[in-house]
Structure 1
Amino acid sequence: MEAVAQQRFGAAAAEAVEAWRSALAGWRDQAEQEQLRRVNEYFNRRIRFADDSVVWSQTDYWATPLETIGRGAGDCEDFVFAKYFSLRELGVPEARLRMTYVRAHIGGPASSVTQAHMVLSYYPSPEAVPLVLDNLITDIRPATARPDLAPVFSFNMQGVFVGGAAQATSPVDRVSRWRELLQRMRSEGYTP
């Protein structure tokens, strides 16, 4: 992965990938809650938020973790994918993680101005209120403490979940950008 980062983005990107891999190795034996905190903080501090049009010259591009780290910038989806795959690599079970599309109320929960946004949801148990890992705020909070976010749907490797469903309603391969993301990750030497 470092060689790919070096080739595509330069020496600084290769060093950033090496630092990420080293950080993950150091967190492997930590408690799951600590892994969540560390991964969330790591990406929120090291990746600059920027729209896809600025970073990739496209209106909507789902970057791989290597691409996000290599560029040092990304939008909300890019933060989520980097956190998701980092936590999966640390051994956090698939069933506990979902990438969640939300409508974010800009200016607070009472605002009528909304924007599409993505966060990473962590379910300590199947019926628990999920914790929200977000690039907009550093704190990891329960979804009930985030009235500014209205969930639309979520997904992981198990499938797509609509509303608060505990079971996937359709296979994730229907999300074409997800398939493309996984193919690019494999070509970078990462096996999700």
Structure 2
Amino acid sequence: MWRVVARSAWHAVLFAWGLSLIFPPTELMAGTPVSSVDRADQPFGLSTSRVTTGTLLEKWLDVEHEVDDDRRVLRLCDQDRASCRSRTALRFLAIVDGARNLQGRARLGEINRAINLTVKPMSDLALYGAEDVWSPPLATFARGAGDCEDYAIAKFVALQEAGVSADDLRIVILRDDVRDEDHAVVAARLDGNWLMLDNLHMAMAGDQQVRDYYRPIFLIDRDGVERYSGASSASGGAARGNERAIGQILH
């Protein structure tokens, strides 16, 4: 057992440096989380690690390409509404317009309320005859229905179109242990606090308020997918979490 008497700040620095030599960082294998993110930067105040492989990452990258296509359509329609041939894009932009002139919590609340009212909750099984299908915003609006991750993706894009910085937005995958299912929401940072935009509620709760009934598993930001440290999922266990955590999302 180490016994150190901190006689001065300098001794403390030397001791910390010595520990770094004795216990060097473990080299991470490909396919594992590769970096720890400052917990102050993430919802729930917990540290996360970047996910580099797995079904969840592949699913997000696939829908992200479709989201990029939607952004191009929205940009063209926003520049020239009269020539826009996509009624779906115009409907989406109408929601964005309603939030652009608002600030702070009012802007977030307007996007949350409008998309909750526009999209009808329906499972992937009912919509597509398959489970775990992720849709970009315009596809969701065209169908007028979707499950929780479809709401979250639409809000994630709408908030950015309305002027919210991507640095202040996350899609968070939560675990409801009581119902034994996963759920997706958007987390938006406002004045240093994270608010949850949930398709099940019009009111926006803070991240610490929902800890009583939700446990964070994954988050998605502009750079990709991260896993909360020590998180497990519906598939049972952190080691397999990035492979199947979203399979039970049916809200």
TM-score, length basis structure 2: 0.54
Q: 2:157 aligns with which of 61, 77, 85?
A: 85
- Given that 1:104 and 1:116 are in contact with CA atoms closer than 8 Å, whether structure 2 keeps it comes out as yes
Q: Which has the higher contact order (CA 8 A, sep 6+)?
A: 2
Kindly report which structure 2 residues correspond to 1:32-181, keeping only aligned pairs within 5 A, or say none: 32-105=104-177, 111=178, 113-124=179-190, 128-146=192-210, 147-163=212-228
Report the number of matched residues.
147
Shift of 1:27: 2.4
Residue segments in structure 1 that go unaligned for 5+ positions in a row: 3-13, 106-110, 165-173, 176-192
Q: Which moved more, 1:16-25 or 1:145-154?
A: 16-25
Amino acid at match of 2:227: V
Structure-1 separation of matches of 2:193 and 2:98? 28
Residue segments in structure 2 that go unaligned for 5+ positions in a row: 1-72, 75-85, 230-241, 244-251
Structure-2 separation of matches of 1:158 and 1:32? 24
1:59-102 Cα deviation digits (max 9, x unpaired): 11111101111001000000000000000111211111000011
> Which of the pair has more CA radius of gyration?
2
- Given that 2:92 and 2:138 are in contact with CA atoms closer than 8 Å, whether structure 1 keeps it comes out as no
Identity within the alignment, %: 27
Structure-2 change in CA distance of 1:16 and 1:160 (3 Å): closer
Structure-2 change in CA distance of 1:104 and 1:129 (3 Å): farther
Runs of 4+ in 1 over 6 A off after TM superposition: none
Amino acid at match of 2:206: P
Structure-2 separation of matches of 1:84 and 1:149? 20
Name the Cα RMSD after superposition: 2.2
Shift of 1:159: 2.9
- Given that 1:96 and 1:123 are in contact with CA atoms closer than 8 Å, whether structure 2 keeps it comes out as yes
- Given that 2:120 and 2:144 are in contact with CA atoms closer than 8 Å, whether structure 1 keeps it comes out as yes
Shift of 1:161: 3.0
- Given that 2:219 and 2:227 are in contact with CA atoms closer than 8 Å, whether structure 1 keeps it comes out as yes
- Given that 1:44 and 1:135 are in contact with CA atoms closer than 8 Å, whether structure 2 keeps it comes out as yes
Q: Does structure 1 residue 30 correspond to structure 2 residue 102?
A: yes
- Secondary structure of 2:190's match? coil
